[in-house]
Amino acid sequence: MKAPHTICFILLSGLPLCPQAGLNNPPARQEVAKHPLVLEPPQEPQPRKVDLAKLHQESLDLAQLAQSIPSDIDHVAQGKLAKDLPDKLKQIEKLSKRLRSELQQ
């Protein structure tokens, strides 16, 4: 009875050593060694030029649109929806996003 256990133990204990024999220098490592990694220095972020005149004009447009909204909302309370109210609100959102992104960078 002990003989089969001993044989199994010897066979199984030698099993993990077999796959490791070829791992010392695998073909993939040899291929990587042929092409050394060359790192370039990181590029500095380019400072963005902000067009102040454009930002100022967009802020004025935003303010003008925002000032027109309360009167349009008053008309909605009376049951009259201004045709351009959804477009004005979209334009306000677009201008504010553009201004915010320009100023955050």
What does the pLDDT profile of the chain (105 residues) look like in tens digits?
Answer: 556 666 666 666 655 555 555 556 778 777 877 887 788 888 887 777 878 899 999 999 999 999 999 999 999 888 888 889 999 999 999 999 999 998 887
The structural domain count of the chain equals 1
Residues spanned by the domain of 100: 52-104
pLDDT score, position 28: 78
Q: Report which DSSP code applies to 35.
A: S
Asked, for residue 26, whether it belongs to a domain, the answer is no
| Residue 46 placed within a domain | no
Residue 38 domain flag:
no
The span from the CA of 76 to the CA of 5, in Å, is 90
On whether residue 78 sits in a domain, the answer given is yes
Determine, yes or no, domain membership for 3: no
69 falls within a domain: yes
CB 58 within 8 A of CB 99: yes
pTM of the model: 0.53
